[in-house]
Structure 1
């Protein structure tokens, strides 16, 4: 059965054969500093033990499933691989407190690995998502350093993704809690695939109050990570500091290869990591496709990039002259190579909010009265599409949301020619709220001639009165970085900007009462004014790429 499964994986990924035979040694015991024992499986060549370079993969999802797929995939191509279950998962000792133990456990594992008679001391790391984060928790501190990293759909710190713009990313985190809270009962793969089946229950759980009890509604039992997530929503960086590794010295980092997608929830932070690596002198490359997190369409690219990168940096195979950045421009259906990120030829273009729901590419004219709406936490503006862990994700028609009374819409004229957007996107919104609290959600859409309004990029910002920049008249000046994009808006289409106060349940609702997110059960309506004009030039900045 294992041979047939291996051949099926190779066929699905379009990888050539014939693969080499390998052995799998199960349940190796890896002691760490506090006395906990972590379990690992070693994939190696048959025959006598010889010191060889090793690929390390540390995963909370079990050594079967993803662990078996990657371990056997690499072993069949001559790599020696150690797949380890992280603390508190699938037989490893201790309690699983996501992100908080990965750095010390990873360093202890690395020391143990290098002391084994089958290791020559050279180590590379691989793996996506949380598995990729375990690499970031290790690589900046490894001495001697790693040979290479393949860190896909991941980032050096997760706090900015947990709480984007200060607003907790509710539904994505609930999806992951549903997975990790159920995986050892249902199996790692089944626990993940079951999530869409239970989507109604998941949405009911996050709609219920207080949020601190949603884990029981989701999984049938308390999940420590969920409690950590909601209990620390007001001061997340203080709690999650041990999980933040973005202060790395780029010059000391190993060569890093990344694969991600325009609809991945870690995209913005991952591009920040890539830029810091490249500017700091590290060897780095990134591929960005039209994918969501873990999209099946990305698997072949991810596998091929991993095999190439390991072959170069562990086995001394020849490299290639590929550009450091390769991106797919959506709706242009083409790949583009770039020397760096952000794209050097991208021209930032400002599009201004104007009276009458207009979006203009020229400097703002007369201001006119502010545009107003009222946000009701009992009926928060719903989310449609975007970088979600489970469907519905990517692009969806936004017209039903745009028709609501709590959404402002600004639409530009039909484009005379195709407009390619490639690079960072940002927004500046001048806003007043009745309570000086609230959230600001900004979304850019592509409006087709038939009226279909497809989301392209967006961002959320939670207003905190003590931290907000203000204009001379006291108006809050909200500066937001929207998710980067690679996208063609076709001739005859129009650009549209939405302004709202919620995108629920993707982001946790703002209760408007100042209560803690974990325990809040009440709500208060918030009145909004969005200003525009010469003194309050609310606008988005789009990266026009010639």
Structure 2
């Protein structure tokens, strides 16, 4: 009865037959002598069959075991869920992103040597479970039969430091979670711990936020703050992006418009598609780990795996790209990402205007960013907390946020694709961040964020002109959004968005030790010689 309910809630076809057979705590030896533990879920009567491998730091039991192990096996897929090094019974130290390639390859070779595996392997999972797939897929010979990549990317470094800025909210949240995930009752809701973690994001120096959040150090936060410097190659072992174009494995991807990996994952998709690998992609109106995304993701992965492991190809009859158009509440199918569009510039104009025309001789607009009272963040692609779209009016009323608003739209405008901004800026200190956000303002004046991006400036990067003005090219997250007739486009420009991004102290002191900061005056230029703008991919199909 419970299995039928799970299938119904996930939108899966009803699975018939006996319960799967579960073998707990399989000992998988690693080359360095460490033993990793795994659970095997097999359809009843399995002798030798393909295996779906899922490698996770979050434990093999509970919801993950039921959603992946039990559900996949009830639908005919033999599944092995392994705890990564140093987590939930597996030996060694849990150092996120370390040794996943070595451990993954060793695990795959061990599986292929088992009598109950016919040699065919595929992988599945989401987020870090996607990282463990990228750490294995490009390096295995013979190759995997399929990879199912949910809300993940071939490299995580750009998510640790988007635009060169430490993603403080996400890094502290995840560090606090993994730092206590094996404690008793850690899986239960804990409002007190949630508030403590959020307060810890303001702790200075930021490297001490782990102790402030959970009372003990977390190695990952120490790593991610210590190596937050330009050109640091510490995370090279976690970057598999150079292997994407060479990957010879069928790939299916699922992500959401408010997922923290959206930009990197769509870059992976484009590289695969341009290399002729024919990946497929689904993008929904979801944030990272949102419950509403679980059914679509599991359906996608189950159908793709059954096609490539069991020969059931009924779920392959669809367009390569399926995406949800926000604001229109509809799904669209395309042959490629991004779909054809017209690059349309909206220029920042004097006195807070926004439009296609450039002002001839407008004076720059100024504001001051103070790290002692950092510009707050609202919504967006967060790992935890209040994510997705939120009312931005309170933030927009602050003196350290510039707001540029267009006229009411005479017709619906569909923006589908990659969004960017060019901001000509002069700062007093040279060390600064430029945060740009695109919003949708409805008829009642409520301003809701659609997409945004940030770029860290430092002396010499980008190079300044003779007047000390730099051209900041800010990459915003891709989107698919319908701005309704009568609504207005709005662009925010600020010196930060805290605690989503670590505050900029205005100095070259490293984040591991920075405590004091300096107020920083910004001048944003928007004249014909320095036309600051956002560039939108307007879809007309």
TM-score by length of 1: 0.96
Partner of 1:145: 143
Deviations 1:370-394 (A, max 9, x none): 1101111000000001011223111
**SS, match of residue 29 in structure 1:** strand
Aligned to 2:235: 240
CA distance in 2, matches of 1:279, 1:187: 47
Residue 348 of structure 2, aligned match among 303, 328, 353:
353
Q: State the partner residue of 1:527.
A: 521
Alignment: residue pair count: 537
**Is the counterpart of residue 207 in structure 1 residue 205 in structure 2?**
no
Alignment of 1:510 onto 2:508: no
In structure 2, the CA distance between the partners of 1:395 and 1:176, relative to structure 1 (3 Å rule), is same
Residue 409 of structure 1: SS of its match in structure 2? strand
Which residue of 2 is the match for residue 288 of structure 1? 283
The whole-number CA distance in structure 2 between the counterparts of 1:333 and 1:45 is: 38
Cα deviation for residue 188 of structure 1 reads 6.6
Q: Which residue, out of 149, 161, 178, partners 1:163?
A: 161
**Aligned residues of 2:138 and 2:246 also touching (Cα < 8 A):** no
Q: Pick one of 495, 501, 521 that aligns with 2:495.
A: 501
Q: CA deviation at 1:249?
A: 4.7
What's 2:531 paired with?
Answer: 537
Determine if contact 1:62/1:188 at 8 Å carries over to the other structure. no
Structure 1 partner of 2:21: 23
Are the counterparts in 1 of residues 51 and 120 from structure 2 also a CA contact under 8 Å?
yes
Q: How does 1:60-139 map to 2 (within 5 A)?
A: 60-65=57-62, 66-139=64-137
Asked whether the 8 Å contact 2:409–2:486 carries over to 1, the reply is: yes
The 1-side partners of 2:65 and 2:161 are apart by 29
Q: How many Å separate the matches in 1 of 2:518 and 2:24?
A: 56
RMSD of equivalent CA atoms: 1.4
Instruction: Tell me which of 324, 337, 344 is aligned to 1:341.
Output: 337
Give the Cα–Cα distance (whole angstroms) in 2 for the partners of residues 170 and 118 of structure 1: 45
1:59 equivalent among 56, 76, 97? 56
Q: Supply the distance in 1 between the matched residues of 2:78 and 2:94 (Cα, whole angstroms).
A: 27
* Distance apart, 1:250 and its partner CA: 2.7
Contact 1:157/1:246 (8 A) holds in 2: yes
Whether 1:404 aligns to 2:377 is no
1:429 to 423, 434, 437: 423
1-structure distance, mates of 2:431, 2:215: 34
Q: Does 1:367 align with 2:361?
A: yes
* 1:481-492 → structure 2 map (5 Å cutoff): 481-492=475-486
In 2, Cα distance between the equivalents of 1:432 and 1:472? Answer: 11
Q: Deviation of residue 368 (structure 1)?
A: 1.8
Distance 2:27 2:305 in 1: 26
Which residue of the partner structure matches residue 371 of structure 2? Answer: 377
Equivalent residues of 1:420, 1:486 under 8 A apart:
yes
Report the counterpart of residue 250 of structure 2 in structure 1. 255
After superposition, the Cα gap between the structure-2 partners of 1:93 and 1:324, relative to the gap in structure 1 and judged at 3 Å, is same
Structure 2 equivalent of residue 332 of structure 1 = 328
1:233 aligned counterpart, secondary structure: coil
Cα distance between partner residues in 1 of 2:244 and 2:374: 42
CA displacement 1:274-294 (0-9 Å, x = unmatched) = 000111111310100100001
CA drift of 1:365 comes to 2.6
Secondary structure of 1:543's partner?
strand
Please point out which of 257, 280, 300 is paired with 1:305: 300
* Runs of 4+ off more than 6 Å: none
Question: Structure 1 residues 199-208 or 495-504, which shifts more?
Answer: 199-208
Query: Deviation string for 1:144-199 (max 9, x for gaps)?
Result: 10000111000000000110000100011111112111110036743xx54x6533
Report the 3-state secondary structure (helix = DSSP H, G, I; strand = E; otherwise coil) of the residue aligned with 2:313.
coil
Residue pair 2:287, 2:387 contacting (<8 A) in 1 also: yes
Conserved in 1, the CA contact under 8 Å of 2:8 and 2:14?
A: no
Deviation, 1:236, is: 6.6
Aligned pairs for 1:40-59 (under 5 A) are 40-47=38-45, 50-59=47-56
1:16 aligned counterpart, secondary structure: coil
Gaps of 5+ in 2: none
Distance 2:157 2:185 in 1: 28
Shift of 1:452: 0.6
Hey, what's the Cα distance between the residues in 2 that align with 1:29 and 1:159? 32
1:461 matches 2:458:
no
Range with bigger deviation, 59-68 or 146-155: 59-68
The 2-side partners of 1:210 and 1:420 are apart by 43
Partner of 2:90, secondary structure, is coil
Give 1:394's aligned residue: 388
- Please tell me whether the aligned partners of residues 4 and 15 of structure 2 are also in contact (alpha carbons under 8 angstroms): no
Post-superposition CA distance 1:466-501 (Å, at most 9, x none) = 331444544111001100111111111111110000
Measure, in 1, the Cα distance between the counterparts of 2:85 and 2:2: 28
Match of 1:321 among 301, 317, 322: 317
State the secondary structure of the residue aligned to 1:84.
Answer: strand
| Superimposed CA distance per residue, residues 85-112 of structure 1 (whole angstroms, 9 cap, x where no aligned partner) | 0000000000011011111110111111
Point out where structure 1 has 5 or more consecutive residues left out of the alignment: none
